[in-house]
Amino acid sequence: MRTTAILAGIAILAGFVATGAMMAKAATDEATAADFQRFCMAKFEKADKANKSYVEGKGGWMFLAKGLRNVGVGKFWGDDAVKVSRAAKKKWADPIVGIMDFKEQLDKLGIELILMPVPPKAVVYPDMICEQLKADAKTRAVPRRDTNHQEFYKLLRGKGVNVLDLTDQFIAARKDAKEDTPLYCKTDSHWSPRACEIAAAAIRKQLDGRKWLPASKDSPFAARNDTVEFTGDLEKIARGDTGNKDKLAARMITVSGNDAKVTDTVDSSSPVILMGDSHCLVFHAGGDMLASGCGLADQLAMELKTGIDLIGVKGSGARPARRNLMENARDEKYLGGKKLVIWCLAAREFTEAQGWGKVPIARRRRSAGSK
């Protein structure tokens, strides 16, 4: 019995040593994608065991624990979905089912879809979660380590889904980022005003040449530079509203000819629907969404020279956002002038959402319109 106990103790110790070695390996510049993914999963599991929804990083950076789980969980679609998904029902686990059903419905309505996942914070800033990781001294870039996301996006594109993956652009944008223009908030779970601006420009680039876009050089919108200051949601969870604030530069969207007045960029009659989770609302809706006038809807209106129809939810952008669109579409006239849906939601939703089941958008169909 004593020998058995000793052997068991040695096995447990060996497990701790192996875990420590794995995490130490991940904390090097040569860490592989698989190493980093295991590192993120270990960080999540440690936080989860401590009943914490956040993980403290380097230099005051904070990360949402379930975002780290999404990076580390492995393949999350097809037969693997039910193994890793947090969906309430097994039949809702596979994100491909919900995404493809939504695209097929929009195709029949003559509406274009752009799926735009918000890249995981830890993938763009791995050096801020992994203590010893460092960005390139000259370019400030980091290797991209989210192989599962890349494989998933490739699979969706093969099925005809237009996936706008911003990860490489965000990593490249680190080169010019200053202390007040990071791509993500240090102490909040959302992206920054600068990231919203980059995302809006990337959407506009994809839409160049669409006949339904305003042809005039004139725009109802203008912009001015400003600063937003706030206490991040993760900081509030960890320490309460202590006065430790993030301070970020922001391009505020204003009324053309009156750069002092932040304007409302939402227009329900717009041909463009921006739909998704709180990344569609942050820096736009004010209140617990941190600020107004510099969120994605605002930056997109500035880029496209037209107001944006917004369906954002403070929660999951997977099924609830589609259900909100379905409610809007009960008015048969609602979808008549729509040309584009931009489905923007955190990449973590592919595993952390409560469900990816099918949602019928509208009963009535119309013929495909011109682009």
pLDDT of residue 363: 65
- Tokens found for residue 233: 């949601």
The predicted pLDDT at position 140 comes to 84
Contacts of 96 (CB under 8 A, 6+ apart): 77, 78, 81, 155, 156, 159, 356
Q: Which of 161, 157, 191, 162 is nearest to 348 (CA)?
A: 191
Segments of the chain with pLDDT less than 70: 1-31, 243, 363-371
The whole-angstrom separation of Cα 42 and Cα 36 is 10
Question: How far, in Å, CA of 261 to CA of 224, rounded?
Answer: 10
Spatial strand order in the sheet of 258-262: 221-230, 246-255, 258-262
For the chain, the structural domain boundaries read: 1-30, 41-352
Residue 241 pLDDT: 82
Residue 261: the pLDDT is 80
Please report the pLDDT score of residue 11 as a whole number: 44
pTM over 0.75: yes
Q: What is the pLDDT of residue 99?
A: 98
Tens digits of residue pLDDT in 70-107: 999 999 999 999 999 999 999 999 999 999 999 999 99
For residue 90, the model assigns a pLDDT of 94
Check residue 294 and give its pLDDT: 98
Residues 206/340, Cβ–Cβ less than 8 Å: no
CB 188 within 8 A of CB 232: yes
Per residue, the 3-state secondary structure of 196-221, as one string, reads HHHHHHHHHHHHCCCCCCCCCCCCCE
Burial 263-302 (b: 16+ CB within 10 A, else e): bebbbeebbbbbbbbbbbbbbbbeeebbbbbbbbbbbbbb
